[in-house]
Each structure stands twice: as C-alpha cells, then as structure tokens.
Structure 1
Amino acid sequence: MITVRIEGAEEAFAKLAKIKSNSTRKSILRKAGRQVVKSAKARIVAQRDLSGAPFAPAADGSGRKLLVGRPKKDGLRRLLKVIEASEDSVTVGWQNGLLSRIAYQQQYGHSEPTKNTRKKVVASNAPATRKQAKSLIDAGYKVRKNGKAYRTPSIKWITENMTMGRAGLILRILQPTQSTGITKIPPRSFLGITDEDLNAIGEILNQEIEAALKA
C-alpha cells in the first residue's frame, strides 16, 4: 500500500472537523482525493516524478515511456481512482492487486532476481540434435528399456529416438530457469503531494468547507 499524508493543510482540516455531517466530510475528502489522482495521472503523462525530474529511463535502454501502456492497456494510469472516503481520510489506488503491486515497485523502486531468457523450442518432428542429446545427458536424463533399471541413454539413442520438440520440452523441465543476477527498478515517484497539489487541495477543502458550514 502507498500511503500519502497531507501536511500543510492543518487549518483546513481543523475546519473540516467542525462539520457534523459524516457524509459531507466524506464528499469533501473525496474531491481532495480526486485532485491527488488527477495530479498523479498528469505526472505519468509528463513522465516526471514528484520533484519534477524526468523518470529514470527503462532498464532495457529502449527509451519507452514508463507506467503507460500495458498491463491491461494502460491500467496503471487509467484505473487509478478514489477507492473510498471516510469522515477523516480518503484512499486512492487500484482495486486490482497486480496493478497495486506494480505501482508500489515503481513508486519506491524494487530489486528482483534476473531470469535467464531461454528461447522457446518450437515443436518439431525433426530428430533431436547432438547438442540437445548432450544437454539431456548432462541434465541427468535417463530412460528405462524393457522393464530394466533406468540408465543414461547414448547420444546416438537420443538422436534416433527423440524429436527436437520433445527433447526441448524435457530440457525445459530438467533445467528450470536460473537467476543470473539482480534487476533493479529505480524509484519513479508519481503518487504524492507537491506544493502545487497542496495549494490546490487546500483551496478545494476551504471552498467546500466554507460552503458546508454556511449551509
């Protein structure tokens, strides 16, 4: 969960506490939450963090925009919204757990094991190659013939009795993807409160509170 505390609007919140109607306070805070959402989406479009600096570039060097596009057709930006509001707080975020996790990793940065990228072997009925045969033997592949104990087959037996597709499938099972290092996702803070946001939120709070108190 990403938690943002609004500081600097104490006067407005003190006024808010004077409003007796819970539903009115919720409505006012919901509008403040919408301002937070609006600003966060604008930062994603502009590709700039809370300090106004450009987002750290993509690790793959592609120069692509971050936090836009997939997953699920730009869901990270599009589905950011006010989740709920109480009489003294408002929650913005995503109802999708996957998007919430991705947002957290982008907001604060993240490190994870780098996976080997092994090319998928297309199913083929061509005979298994000698390279595949050697890899199978090195991976500990064994066969059982005529009800006898399992034994290591020869390269010749593998190339004569297995297809490339089957050999590739068995290799993927016997040799699971291994970690080759650490991939670091740098922080790209997009959800939060800037001085400009604080002024806008304070103005919203004061206008709505004054109107509610007069009513």
Structure 2
Amino acid sequence: MAGRSTVDLDIRGYLGAQEQLALLSLPPKLRRRLLNNVSKRVRSMSRKRVRDQQNLDGSPFEARKGSSKGKKKMEAGLAKLMQVTSVSADEAVLGWKNALTSWVAAQQHNGVSERRTAAQMKRWNTVPADLAATEKQAKRLRKLGFKVRQEGKKSLTRPSVAWIQEHVNYARAGLLIRILDDEKTESSGAQSWEITLPKRQFIGVGTEGDTASLLNQVLQQILNSPR
C-alpha cells in the first residue's frame, strides 16, 4: 500500500547516547512496555487530533464541500480502530490490522485524487464490515439512486436501508455518496468520476523532536518506577 497508514516507532532512532545506555539497562519486557505505552499515547494524540479536526502541524483540516458530519464520523471511526499491531523490545507499529481500513486511513491522511469508473463500482459487491454504513448514509445512497444486483434478481435494484448497512461499510458508503453526488452534476451517461480528498494528517506525533520528547518522557517514567 502506498502512503502512510501506520506509525513505526524504533527507539534507537530518537534517543541520545545517555538515554540509549539507560534503555539498554532495561530488560526486554520493560522495553516492550515502553514502546507499548508510547504507541498508546500516540494513538490518544491522533484521536484528539480528529476530535479537534487538526493536522499534525496544528492547522485546521481543509473544509470539504457539503455536510462534514458524516466525514467526521468516518475519521472518528478510523481513530477508534487504531491499535498497536505489533510490538517488540526495539520497535512498535501503530495502525490497523484490516487492510481495507488501513487503506482508507492512508487515503484520509495523505489526501488523494483518483478516477473511479462505473465498471469498478459494479464489481464492488461485498466489502469487510469494519465500519458499517450508518442509517443516514444508507438513506442518502437510496435517494441518490444507488443500485446493486441482488441475489435472485435479474436486473439492478435499489436495495433497502437494512441491506446497505449489512453489505456496505462506512468508508465505501462515503465514497459512493461522493461519486453519486458528482454524477448528479455531470451528464446522466457519465462513466467515470474524479474523486479528490484533501489531506487529513491526524496519524502520528508531529516532528521528530516531538517523538523523541515523548519517548524520553515515558522512558524516565519507566526508569523511575518500581521494577
């Protein structure tokens, strides 16, 4: 997957010589605890950034056209699912275990401009349901004329709200709504749509100095805590 969708924390790249010596004095169990604690703090910071609608540098998220309520829920859902996917005595990875969720997070973090075709949309019949579509999304899709080929039916039909919530996840529903909204503004025979998402850089700590400061802070807490 291209683009950033995880935070990789390698202790050795952020500590000075004295701190590295202190780190080496810790057993592997405590080094893992250090990285696990730091990763969870980064997760909390990322979630707060989503709540505040701010990028890593403190600037506000770029406004999107139309209602932003659903899009904020998507970002909040992604932040909620963020977790420590692996941790060792030297490195931890904070991200998403599900590949689709990780891809969506990367799209949100990095921004994207890509073209979707009608043929692609017809092939998207099932997706993992990590973030189920909301009732509001389902109703919006029905209003926009979203149709699928359901089992036992020969032609495309407009699915029920319940069917959409069961078979379409939150991220895909958001993308479909944007595509169908764009289609309404173009010719009725449009076969492709340009989808543009601005950057929402909520994943991570900030600068390398911020990361080093956080690592040192947690390291001192562990060094000073009872063994």
TM range (shorter): 0.5 to 0.7
CA distance in 2, matches of 1:42, 1:85: 23
Which amino acid in structure 2 is aligned with residue 199 of structure 1?
S
CA distance in 1, matches of 2:42, 2:108: 17
CA distance in 2, matches of 1:189, 1:106: 7
**Cα distance change, pair 15–64 in 1 and its aligned pair in 2 (3 A):** farther
| Shift, 1:94, TM fit | 1.3
> Is the 1:47–1:54 Cα contact (8 Å) retained in structure 2?
yes
Aligned: 1:69 with 2:73: yes
Query: What's 1:28 paired with?
Result: 34
Gaps of 5+ in 1: 122-164, 170-175
Which amino acid in structure 2 is aligned with residue 179 of structure 1?
S
Query: What's 2:109 paired with?
Result: 107
Aligned: 1:82 with 2:96: no
CA distance in 2, matches of 1:119, 1:202: 54
**Cα distance change, pair 10–178 in 1 and its aligned pair in 2 (3 A):** farther
Aligned: 1:204 with 2:218: yes
| Shift, 1:76, TM fit | 0.6
Which amino acid in structure 2 is aligned with residue 32 of structure 1?
V
CA distance in 1, matches of 2:103, 2:110: 11
* Greater Rg by CA: 1
Which amino acid in structure 1 is aligned with residue 67 of structure 2?
S
Which amino acid in structure 2 is aligned with residue 2 of structure 1?
T
| Shift, 1:108, TM fit | 1.1
One of 77, 81, 95 as aligned partner of 2:97 = 95
**Cα distance change, pair 198–183 in 1 and its aligned pair in 2 (3 A):** same
> Is the 2:55–2:201 Cα contact (8 Å) retained in structure 1?
yes
**Cα distance change, pair 13–56 in 1 and its aligned pair in 2 (3 A):** farther
Percent same amino acid among aligned pairs? 23
Which amino acid in structure 2 is aligned with residue 206 of structure 1?
Q
Aligned: 1:179 with 2:185: no
> Tell me, what secondary structure is at the counterpart of 1:69?
helix
Which amino acid in structure 1 is aligned with residue 90 of structure 2?
D
Q: How many positions carry a matched residue from both structures?
A: 160
Aligned: 1:2 with 2:6: yes
CA distance in 1, matches of 2:40, 2:18: 17
CA distance in 1, matches of 2:155, 2:90: 62
Gaps of 5+ in 2: 119-140, 148-152, 158-188
